[in-house]
Structure 1
Amino acid sequence: MQTRARGFKAVTLAIGAAMLVAACGGSDGSANLADEPEAVGTAAPEPTDPPATDAPEPEPTDPPATDAPEPEPTDPPATDAPGPGDDGVLDVPAEFTTITEAVDAAQPGDLVLIAPGTYNEAVNVVTDEIVIRGLEREGVVLDGQFELDNGIRVLGARGVAVENLTVQNYTDNGVFFTGVDGYRASYVTAYRNGDYGIYAFDSVTGQIEHSYGAGSPDAGFYIGQCYPCDAVVDNVISEHNGLGYSGTNAGGNLIIANSRFNNNRAGIVPNSGSYELCYPQRQNLIVGNTVYSNNQPDTPAIDVAILAMGNGILIPGGVGNTVERNLVYDHDRTGIGLVPFLEEGANDDIPEQSEWDTPCSEQRLEPPATEIPESLLWDSFDNVISDNVVSDSREADLAVEGVGQPTGELRNCWSGNTFATSAPAALETIAPCGTDAAAPDDAVWETEALNVLRWLGEVDSRPEPVDYETAPLPPLPDLDDMPDAATAPAQPATDVPFAIDTDAITTPVADG
């Protein structure tokens, strides 16, 4: 570029000098460069410049045509395209590899829908009002492999529902609701878990229904530490556990109905104790259940289950419960028994009777007694036992005994039951329901008494518990699936417990 510029300058100077000579030259106005050498010479380029060249200048490069069509812009990705779970249904494993990933991504009102398969995970739930559902009850299996603690644990999340799946081989619990208001377990199978099958602790407003629990050392089903609980256990089957149902300090609009408890160490066992809050246990309605053969010696079992072995419906230290229209048969000890509960290592004293209606929300704020006994003896008061069919109990079909207070001062009553034996004798005669007559004297209550303290001395002779990992269990029965599991909309546990017409429940009839 520099050489080309200098050449262009030399030519320009030469032409300019020639034009100047012509303008000042001969009279005829013509210019003759050959005749005027000096004039031409004075316009010559500097010696250092290259000779002028008359080569044509290169044509300038034309700019791109401005009227050429512009390229079409690339459209950005659509921002409203649905992502996983945007329709309110989070599919596992199609959209989320694990149940945990789907639960963590779920929003209130969402449905986590699980395809058949085995899922080795422990799922924690902290989001309110989600529904976790399997497409097949038997085919969707959460398996803890005897290493993980809880299959599904709901930690304070309100309104969570678990539906139509199996939880098995967990070291603690199959399904565990703790500290929640609003919960539901429907069509759940809990099989061979190390503590409870389905466990609701310190939780209210709940429903456990159409579910199965087997192979747990404590209980197939448990509701504890709540008053009022506002809960229903309906249409469940519990077998081959330490206890079929356990309910420490649970009551107040709590119904256990239309269910089967068989071949556990003991059947239905709600009890009082200061080792959990909300004591005493009170105000259960136990109605329309079939309870039989709860003498099973080869189950896993905690200490209480060993002590209670051989009883159908046993209420240790419970208050104000109603037990009616149940079918109870084949028990080594009692069919329906009201007995004291001896608690060692107490955390508080027994509340006064004037405090028995105190809600748990208030009671739990009260400090414990300044002086706490080493042990407590919880007697059973004000229970109503009516219209049950009880048979084949080796110690007594109907039984009651007080230890802390005389049996006749406990205000329990019996009416309309079909039974053969009672302890003490003639219970319906000496303590019928619906009468204000004075209780008979102590001598009557001592006739053919139960002698429940003997049970304590016999604990060491009871069958030892079997490891829950290896205890023999029956094969799973044919259990109903949730209707329309693939298409039913999510229904969080915001409307529980479901209304149940307890007056319409009739006493079950034994098969055969």
Structure 2
Amino acid sequence: MTKCHIASLACAAALLGAGLGAAPATAAHTIHVVHPGESIQKAVNAAQPGDTVLVAPGTYHESVKVTTSRLTLRGMGAHTVIEPAAGKASNTCAQGGNGICVVGKKNRRVEGVTVSQLTVTGFAKTGVLGQETDGLTVRKVNALRNGVWGIAQEQSVRGVFRDNYVRDNGDAGLFLANTIKTEEGALDTRGTVVQRNRMEGNRIGLTVRRLRNLSVTDNYVTGNCAGVFVVGDENKPRAGALTVADNLVTTNNKSCPKTERLPMLQGSGIVLTGVENTQVNRNQVTGNSGKSPLSGGIVLFKSFVGVTSERNRISDNTLRGNAPADLVNQEKAKSNNTFQGNSCAVSKPSGLC
């Protein structure tokens, strides 16, 4: 493991140009360079707030747990690969079946961590998992073929998930939630951003569950059983007060069997269930077709615990070739959902286009 004290990114560039060799100490922050055969976790444990752990191309068989604020864990692109280790789990992240875990505490969130430019694949549960974080950034990460979620976050605020590729994960490619362990009201994420990600071949491209105050924009969602799920329930505060805009959601027609929580899924574009005050604007939703109760282009579906979706605005979307319809509203008229300015051919009930 090599260390480089830096004052700016120029030092990092010089370090790379020198073939990952040592560079002179010039400032307080340190780059810890990890080569194949070395331990990423050892470098993370040695790092201080503000440091960078830079991981060279190669395959690393381990799970990595980050609890230090303002730490950057960065690979050098898709060929920096983290896969499960054989044998006994080395830390609680590995014990949970996860690849990279960024973990704070209930009363002391870990702050300002960045995970970027690497591949996490083959873990039994999650590729990258954030819990009790503030300002976690996950960027240019390939999360592939993990057992449950590609990238997931719980009990966290101000997250940024940008330019990631999540493919062939067992449940959601991206999964953002308040918590899955207890029944609680929706968490205010204080402006979490989900932007410019490609979500392909998962059960669900993106699940937003029991959250408020976030944006989902400019994503490409294709080849999943369902594209985007925004999910709430009877707990207070209600889920919603968020934006889903300018996304391309197309041909999410893979078929997935029913689970304990959901019926079989196929052909769902964007689904709102049990949420309020959500803006679904300017999305292109095309070719999503199936025979699930949740099939269709943009679907408002009464939640399985009987909670209606209320005061949501579906506007200025372009919808084509979705079945059974481009727009599907299964809620009662009194729920005050608004459909306006959408370009589409077929709706259920009729008159929404």
Deviating beyond 2 angstroms after TM superposition, the runs of 4 or more aligned structure 1 residues are: 145-148, 277-280, 299-309
Deviations 1:24-54 (A, max 9, x none): xxxxxxxxxxxxxxxxxxxxxxxxxxxxxxx
Equivalences for residues 318-467 of structure 1 within 5 A: 318-332=275-289, 333-342=295-304, 376-402=305-331, 407-427=332-352
Structure 2 residue 309 is the aligned partner of structure 1 residue 309: no
In the TM superposition, residue 210 of structure 1 has moved relative to its aligned partner by 0.5
2:258, 2:265 within 8 Å by CA — same for their partners in 1?
no
Equivalent pair of 1:220/1:238 in contact (CA under 8 Å): yes
Match of 2:201 in 1: 240
Cα 1:260–1:286 shift into 2, 3 Å: same
CA displacement at 1:169 relative to structure 2: 0.3
Which residue of 2 is the match for residue 11 of structure 1? none
Aligned to 1:144: 84
Partner of 1:251: 212
Task: Report the CA distance shift for 1:212/1:300 in structure 2 as closer, same or farther (over 3 A).
Answer: farther
Is residue 123 of structure 2 the alignment partner of residue 170 of structure 1? yes
Deviation at 1:201, TM superposition (A): 0.7
Q: Please name the residue that 2:67 is paired with.
A: 126
Range 280-289 or range 159-168, more displaced: 280-289
**Which amino acid letter does the alignment assign opposite residue 261 of structure 1?**
V
* Letter matched to residue 232 of structure 2: S
Any conservation in 1 of the 2:229–2:272 contact (CA below 8 Å)? yes
Q: Percent identity?
A: 32
**What is aligned with 1:116?**
57
Letter in 2 for 1:420: A
Please list, as runs of the form range in 1=range in 2, the aligned pairs for 1:177-216 lying within 5 A after superposition.
177-216=130-169
Shift of 1:306: 4.6
* Structure-1 residue corresponding to 2:238: 280
Give the TM-score of the pair, scaled to structure 2.
Answer: 0.81
> How far off is 1:86 after superposition?
7.1
What is the identity, as a one-letter code, of the residue corresponding to 1:199? A
Farther-moved stretch of structure 1 (416-425 vs 147-156): 147-156
Counterpart CA distance in 1 for 2:73 and 2:321 is 43
**CA displacement 1:345-393 (0-9 Å, x = unmatched):** xxxxxxxxxxxxxxxxxxxxxxxxxxxxxxx311110110011010112
Larger-gyration structure (1/2)? 1
Letter in 2 for 1:264: N
Between structures 1 and 2, the one with greater helix share: 1
Contact 2:71/2:114, CA 8 A, preserved across alignment: yes
What root-mean-square deviation, in Å, do the aligned CA atoms of Structure 1 and Structure 2 show?
2.3
User: How far apart are residue 228 of structure 1 and its match?
Assistant: 3.8
Q: Following the alignment from structure 2 to structure 1, what is the Cα–Cα distance between the partners of residues 224 and 99?
A: 22
Higher relative contact order (CA 8 A, sep 6+): 1
1:318-367 alpha-carbon deviations (Å, 9 max, x no partner) = 1111001111011223100111111xxxxxxxxxxxxxxxxxxxxxxxxx
Aligned residue among 81, 84, 102 for 1:154: 102
SS of match in other structure, 1:171 = coil
Alignment map for 1:477-488 (pairs within 5 Å): none
Separation in structure 1 between the aligned mates of residue 209 and residue 86 of structure 2, nearest angstrom:
26
1:483-512 Cα shifts (integer Å, max 9, x gaps):
xxxxxxxxxxxxxxxxxxxxxxxxxxxxxx
2:231 corresponds to which letter in structure 1?
A: N
Map 1:74-113 → 2, pairs under 5 A? 88-93=30-35, 97-113=38-54
> Does the Cα contact within 8 Å between 2:247 and 2:283 map onto a contact in 1?
yes
Asked whether the equivalents of residues 272 and 317 of structure 1 are also in contact (C-alpha less than 8 Å), the reply is yes
Q: How far is the alpha carbon of 1:229 from its aligned partner?
A: 3.8
Relative to its length, the structure with more strand (as a share) is 2
Contact kept, 8 Å, 2:63 with 2:85, in 1: the verdict is no
Distance across 1 between alignment mates of 2:264 and 2:315: 26
Question: Shift in Å at residue 217 of structure 1?
Answer: 2.0
Letter in 1 for 2:217: A
Q: Structure 1 401/301 Cα, relative in aligned 2: closer, same or farther at 3 Å?
A: closer
* Preserved contact between residue 35 and residue 57 of structure 2 (Cα < 8 Å): no
The count of corresponding residues between Structure 1 and Structure 2 is 304
What secondary structure, in the 3-state scheme, does the structure 2 residue paired with 1:409 have? helix
SS for the counterpart of 1:177 is: strand
Q: 1:278 to 1:103 in 2, by over 3 A?
A: farther
SS in 1 for 2:111: coil
Tell me, in whole angstroms, the C-alpha distance in 2 between the residues paired with 1:109 and 1:300: 45
The alpha-carbon distance between structure 1 residues 144 and 305, as it changes in their structure 2 partners (threshold 3 A), is farther
- Stretches of structure 1 that go unaligned for 5 or more consecutive residues are 1-80, 343-375, 429-512
Structure 1 residue 300: Cα displacement: 8.5
Give, in whole Å, the separation in 1 of the partners of 2:82 and 2:258.
23
Query: 2: CA distance between counterparts of 1:392 and 1:178?
Result: 39
Alignment TM-score, normalising by the size of structure 1: 0.57
Residue 462 of structure 1 is matched in structure 2 by none
Partner of 1:205, secondary structure, is coil
Distance in 2, matches of 1:306 and 1:419, equals 26
**Counterpart pick for 1:268 among 224, 228, 240:** 228
SS across alignment from 2:45: helix
